[in-house]
Structure 1
Amino acid sequence: MLVQELKQESRVKVAPRIIGFGECLPGKPVTNEQMEDVLSIRKEWIDTMIGNHSRHFAVDFSKRTVEYSLTDLCTVAAEEAIEQAGIQRKEIDVIVLSTATPDHLMPATVNLVADRLGLQNIQTYQIQAGCSGALQALDVARHLLVGERRYALVIGGDVCNKYMDLTRDFTKLRSSELINYALFGDGAGAILLTNENCDGLEITSIENRFVGVGEEPGQVMNWFGTVPENVQELSKRELRKQFQSAKEDYKAIEKQVPLMTAQVLKTLLEDRNWKKEDVTYFLPPQLGWNMTKKIIESLDLSLDVTINCVQETGNNGNALPFLQLKKLHGRLKPSNKVVGVAIESSKWIKTGIILEYKNGETNE
């Protein structure tokens, strides 16, 4: 009993730090050439409009089948993060999962993942969100690491394409619909967060602001991608028109996202009294690569200091910030500073994060 008390007293608590990273990208990367072969989306059009080279799908478009669930992807990503952190699953105190595309309305996907991981009696939380969700989940998790709680598993993922109607003739789709298949990808990312004093990427602050009062949504997603065959043809057409599975106002997104990114970055830097030159790495919003590159250029940043992955992974929503963070693993040195921004266009949400790499022995 005395030994246990001494161990508790010697434990130094710090601001939450990321100590494990995981990701899961389903199947093999689907190239632009394959998109042209399977979905009749011209490679030149993808290069010009989006700029992504590949993406990962949880569905097989040639077979018209769903191959992976969100639970599948999140579980694999979580297992990698736990293993990399070097802790036992039973040590995890809480799971927070963010997604725009849960496997079901109920049960929550976070509980299906907890079941797969064998984590009985664990606290679970699920956030329904788009691109802002990953940072929202981190914000929730860091505030839950109080008292005896030591480890939080935070997961973000999306499987957008399972809501697309796989029975449709893709050659007849409008460009406004086709662009979704070329822009979005599926995937999951995870991190292991702790308040123990150890080497890790410490969360200094998180910005999360809804700014969409009176604004039309920039993106809408529905559950109605597939219309039952027993619905009359006229009704089916009307349903597809009214409940298109995914649609975007690209002009609004192109106008608003760079401006909102600059605003968040300014707020984050002023909060720490930093200049851009003080930051080691930036995590910019990841849309399509062409737009992401324009944002980087508008911020007067070099590609050398930005962490980008959307060219290869596609825009996989809640997973992307975690994939960016995972790319930092192995690069960071003590006192390195990281600033990230994620913008959600669905109803206009600005999120940002400041992180600093700390050495556990010196706490610097």
Structure 2
Amino acid sequence: MRPRVVPRRRTGGTGAPSIGRYCGVEARDVRLASAGTALPGEAVDNALLTKSLGMSPVFQEWIDTFVGTRSRYLAIDLGTGDVSCSVADLGVQAAGRALDAAGIDAGAVDLVVMATSMPDRLLPTTAEEIADRLGVGPVPVHQLQSGCTGAVQALDLAHQALLAGDARTALVIGGDVCAKHVDLRLDYSRLPPAEMVNAVLFGDGAGAVVLGDGADFPDAPVLRRVLLELTGLHRPPAQIVEWFGPADSDPATPAVWEDFKAVQESVPVIAAEILAELLRDLRWTPADIDYLLPPQLSGRMTEDIVRRLGVPAAVEVSCVADTGNTANALPFTQLQMVLPELVSGDRVVAISVESSKWIRAGFVLEKP
């Protein structure tokens, strides 16, 4: 997949402050060396999805026009209900591709951080499973549970470890598989919108990046800034994903629920706040951005967010219309798309918003 391109221009900019300004440590060059991704099976287009869920053609038209997502990849066969792969399966593939792209093997990794909203099991963690299958270790392995900003949370934790000198090379993974929440016995035509919308928004996948020292990856872009803030104090969540066990499943409680109207209203506003804060911290202007990695909620909503952000000179890097919303895999998919395009001096701004409890997140790269 290639980034969607709009006209851009380069300016001299005003330069970025030292990384140490944010961390209270001597400035280090933390580089984002590579990215890798994995998607399950073949693309499921809207026609196949509509047919599989027993919906009318009107439903397909609604997906096409209102949601704007053309296809997604699913780890469950919509015809049989068979699950083809797990989060760990996809994570191993994505991580292996990131390591290969960085030109290193698993033995060079001394920190693993993973983010997922839907781990395969409660224990052992999916991060541990992936590290074990890759042959990474003995090293610290962390798993974070979060939604659309989880990948940035994992990136932040690894970034801080490298800045502090606690690690030299980190493998950061994000992935989700929604199969456990897909019930083909449901009559989707009778579901309320807060439940039905999730059936068309989300897809499955995994992504990974390698972070390292500037001495090891001198040509890789510098990770200049990671922003991560909980902003939803005393505010109701706009998305809830339940975790049911055999003893406590409640048929009256939906497994996945979303207030899509609240998401539509709030995410563009929060995205603009994130962009403004990142630019202010780095003393950049919108014209200094060469590539924009916007939130990937749905094809149509991403278009609306990009218009609101007002950076027409930047190249937009979007994939959600073709992959569906793969949650923790998405920022790494965008990075895999943009990394080969970067030339000296290019600047990349990524923005992520999580509506489960309203988290603001983003990061900035600069090619030396």
Among candidates 29, 34, 37, match of residue 15 of structure 1: 29
Among candidates 218, 224, 227, match of residue 238 of structure 2: 218
Asked if residue 35 in structure 1 is aligned to residue 45 in structure 2, the reply is no
Cα distance in 2 for partners of 1:40, 1:294 equals 30
8 Å CA contact 2:228, 2:359 repeated in 1? yes
Opposite residue 111 of structure 1, the aligned amino acid is E
Match of 1:80 in 2: 97
Quote how far apart the aligned CAs of 1:357 are.
Answer: 1.0
> Residues 298, 323 of structure 1: CA spacing in aligned structure 2 closer, same or farther, 3 A cutoff?
same
Asked if residue 141 in structure 1 is aligned to residue 161 in structure 2, the reply is no
Q: Larger radius of gyration, structure 1 or 2?
A: 1
Cα distance in 1 for partners of 2:135, 2:274 equals 39
Cα distance in 1 for partners of 2:278, 2:322 equals 28
Secondary structure of the structure 2 residue equivalent to 1:297: helix
Quote how far apart the aligned CAs of 1:355 are.
Answer: 0.9
Match of 1:57 in 2: 74
Among candidates 213, 229, 234, match of residue 195 of structure 1: 213
Match of 1:361 in 2: none
Superposed, which structure 2 residues align to 1:182-261 within 5 Å? 182-197=200-215, 198-224=218-244, 239-242=250-253, 244-261=254-271
Opposite residue 177 of structure 2, the aligned amino acid is V
Deviates more, 1:29-38 or 1:302-311: 302-311
Asked if residue 180 in structure 1 is aligned to residue 198 in structure 2, the reply is yes
Secondary structure of the structure 1 residue equivalent to 2:251: helix
Quote how far apart the aligned CAs of 1:299 are.
Answer: 1.6
Match of 2:326 in 1: 316
Secondary structure of the structure 2 residue equivalent to 1:102: coil
Quote how far apart the aligned CAs of 1:148 are.
Answer: 6.8
Consecutive unaligned residues of structure 2, counting only runs of 5 or more, are: 1-26
- Cα distance per residue 1:293-327 (max 9 Å; x no partner): 01111122349611100000000101101101110
Identical pairs, percent? 40
8 Å CA contact 1:82, 1:89 repeated in 2? yes
Match of 1:7 in 2: none
Match of 1:118 in 2: 135
Quote how far apart the aligned CAs of 1:173 are.
Answer: 3.2
Cα distance in 2 for partners of 1:241, 1:275 equals 50
Segments ≥4 residues shifted beyond 4 Å: none
> Residues 263, 304 of structure 1: CA spacing in aligned structure 2 closer, same or farther, 3 A cutoff?
closer
Cα distance in 2 for partners of 1:14, 1:199 equals 15
Deviates more, 1:115-124 or 1:257-266: 115-124
Cα distance in 1 for partners of 2:305, 2:86 equals 32
Cα distance in 1 for partners of 2:292, 2:252 equals 39
Asked if residue 158 in structure 1 is aligned to residue 176 in structure 2, the reply is yes
Among candidates 342, 355, 362, match of residue 365 of structure 2: 355
Cα distance in 2 for partners of 1:175, 1:208 equals 30
Secondary structure of the structure 1 residue equivalent to 2:197: helix
Match of 2:317 in 1: 307
Cα distance in 1 for partners of 2:298, 2:148 equals 13
Quote how far apart the aligned CAs of 1:249 are.
Answer: 0.8
8 Å CA contact 2:67, 2:299 repeated in 1? yes
Quote how far apart the aligned CAs of 1:118 are.
Answer: 1.4
Q: TM-score, normalised by structure 2?
A: 0.87
Asked if residue 281 in structure 1 is aligned to residue 299 in structure 2, the reply is no
How many pairs were matched up?
336
8 Å CA contact 2:271, 2:352 repeated in 1? yes
Aligned-pair RMSD on alpha carbons? 1.8
8 Å CA contact 1:131, 1:318 repeated in 2? yes
Cα distance in 2 for partners of 1:108, 1:156 equals 13
Quote how far apart the aligned CAs of 1:14 are.
Answer: 3.9
8 Å CA contact 1:164, 1:245 repeated in 2? no
